[in-house]
Every structure is written in C-alpha cells, then in structure tokens.
Amino acid sequence: MNPVESPQVHLVLRAHAPSPARLGVVYQPLPLRLFKTVFALALFWGSIPYLVWVPPHYPWPILSLCAGAFLAHRAWTGRYVVQWFAGECPRCGNALRLRAGARIGLPHALTCFGCHFEPTLEPYALADEEAIATDARGIRHVLADCAGNWHQERRWDQEWIVCGACGARHHATPALAAAAAEENDHGRLLAELAAEGRFLT
C-alpha cells in the first residue's frame, strides 16, 4: 500500500483570488494503472462473444462494452485516489466536496453547488509563486485600480498576503511579502503627499 501524500494545492478560479485547500491522496503508479486498464478491457470486452448467446442477447454485449470502457478510462486517468479533502470555493466561500475513494488527476475541476462555478484544484510550487513578484505587473490585485493595503493572515495553517480592499490573495513567499511591503510604503507616501497638498491649498 502506497503512503498517503499531501501535495501543495489550492483552488483557483478565473478573476478570483486563489483559496486554500487540503488534499490527502495515494499515488497510483503507472504499472498498476496499466494493469487495471488492460484487465478491465480483457475481462469485459473479452466476454462479449460469450454474452451474445445469453438471452435476451442484445443488452449484455452493449453493457459489457460500456462497462469495460468506463472502468478502463477510470483506471488509466485516476493517478491519485483521494483519502480526504477540504477546500472552499474562491468565489462564494462554500465548502467543496470530493468524496473519499475518488480517482482524480491534478489539476482537477470541481463543481461548487453554492454559486455553480467550477474552480480547479491545482498543485502549486512556492518557486512559481515567487515569480509573481518579479513579473512585469508585480504583485496583483483582483481589481486593476485597487489601492488597498496588503497584510498577512494565516488561513488553514498557511501564510497568505491579502489585500484589505479587493480581497486579492497570494502565498506569503519572501519575495511577495517584500513586494507587498514596498507597495504599502508607496501607498503611504502618496497618502501623505495628498494630505500635504490639501493642507497647502
């Protein structure tokens, strides 16, 4: 039995800040998936010539063909077997469901029954998150014209950098924390200059 792994994942939805998620899975190695796929096809498709002779004749071969295709597809595409999952929708905050025993790949689309959008469960690497700080656009808000301040908060045992105005959220890597602090400093300076300008007028 393979050990339970907990990959670093979060839930993403276009035009919304990512939300935290927790996932425990058991990895299914390629030889095992290949064996299960071939076994399902051999068992169900190989029995079709014999099922043709079982009355009422026509439904059994069709059912065997469909069952073999479904089980083979499920065995081949399910790289992970879910042991436990917890996550919330990036749009409405409702808890999302992913049943134990489900076979999934990553990324994996989920359906939110609160807002009926489909966020994606994706793995992430902190090195990739660090690259956001050096991107030409820098640390990003949800709203392009947002002037809110960044602060750090802890959610689900993860450190996040969150905008207090638009709700933008990033993983609190060192580079992103420094970029957020620099943007906050610029915002304070602009606020002070604006206050002095009002005083002079």
**In the structure encoding, which two tokens stand for residue 184, read together?**
């906050």
Does residue 151 lie in a domain region? yes
Whether the Cβ atoms of residue 68 and residue 46 lie closer than 8 Å to each other: no
User: Higher model confidence: residue 2 or residue 56?
Assistant: 56
**Distance of alpha carbon 111 from alpha carbon 121, whole angstroms:** 11
Segment 75-81 mean pLDDT? 87
Dump pLDDT digits (tens) for 154-168. 887 788 899 888 888
pLDDT of residue 199 exceeding 60, the answer is no
Does residue 176 lie in a domain region? yes
Whether the Cβ atoms of residue 169 and residue 160 lie closer than 8 Å to each other: yes
User: Higher model confidence: residue 138 or residue 61?
Assistant: 61
Q: pLDDT at position 137, please?
A: 65
Which DSSP helix (H) or strand (E) runs through 54? Answer: none
Number of domain units in the chain: 1
Does residue 135 lie in a domain region? yes
Dump pLDDT digits (tens) for 109-155. 999 999 999 999 999 887 777 777 676 566 888 877 787 889 998 88
Q: pLDDT at position 200, please?
A: 56
Does residue 88 lie in a domain region? no
Does residue 168 lie in a domain region? yes
Does residue 137 lie in a domain region? yes
pLDDT of residue 201 exceeding 60, the answer is no
Host domain of residue 165: 125-201
Q: pLDDT at position 113, please?
A: 92
**Distance of alpha carbon 37 from alpha carbon 29, whole angstroms:** 12
Segment 193-200 mean pLDDT? 68
pLDDT of residue 94 exceeding 60, the answer is yes
Dump pLDDT digits (tens) for 7-57. 989 999 988 888 889 999 999 888 988 999 999 999 999 988 888 887 887
Instruction: Quote helix, strand, coil % in the chain, to nearest 5.
Output: 40, 25, 40
Does residue 30 lie in a domain region? no
pLDDT band for position 1 (50/70/90)?
Answer: low
pLDDT of residue 175 exceeding 60, the answer is yes
- In the chain, where do the E strands start and end? 4-5, 9-12, 19-27, 80-87, 103-104, 108-109, 120-123, 150-155, 158-163, 169-171
pLDDT band for position 86 (50/70/90)?
Answer: very high
**Distance of alpha carbon 34 from alpha carbon 36, whole angstroms:** 6
Does residue 81 lie in a domain region? no
Angle between helices 59-77 and 30-46 (to 10 degrees): 180
Q: Give the pTM.
A: 0.71
Q: How many CB atoms lie within 10 A of CB 2?
A: 12
